[in-house]
Amino acid sequence: MTLAEEFKSRNFSIYGQWTGVLCIILCFALGIANIFHANVVIAFSIVCLVCAFVIIFIEIPLLLRICPTSPKFDIFIRKFGSNYMRAAIYLVMSIVQWVSIWAKATSLIVAAIFLLIASVFYALAGFKGQQFQGSKTLGGQGVAQMII
């Protein structure tokens, strides 16, 4: 299945996964950009950076096979295999970034918005009863099986 066919499939989990990839880039960039503030925003930017690395392993399953990680971390990441669990983790990450407005309104709001959008896509996939379908471009079932 090509990337264009994946987007035409109207499976919201594909949209959520690609929005998650965008969240990786945004969380990493905005986490670094906001780490230079001299107030509580530093804590939220560090959390944003940590979120970027957690999302990498959630959305790109190929990395769990090639990166040395601990068994506890692998078990934690594997909990987010369903649409509802992914929607929940993205919602929690989004709420944390929304709370950062309390300290100071910064560009972390953009990360909060996109994390919320990813959460909505995964929740819609769950509500519509769509099975989680990982993108083969991002190391879905086909690519991950070829490595083993």
Identify whether the C-beta of residue 90 lies closer than 8 Å to the C-beta of residue 20. yes
The pLDDT tens digits of the residues spanning 88-104 come to: 999 999 999 999 988 88
Residue 17: phi and psi, rounded to 5, are: -65, -45
**Global pTM value:** 0.85
C-alpha angle 79-82-84 in degrees, rounded to nearest 5: 105
Q: Which is more confidently placed, 139 or 97?
A: 97
Per-residue pLDDT, 148 = 41
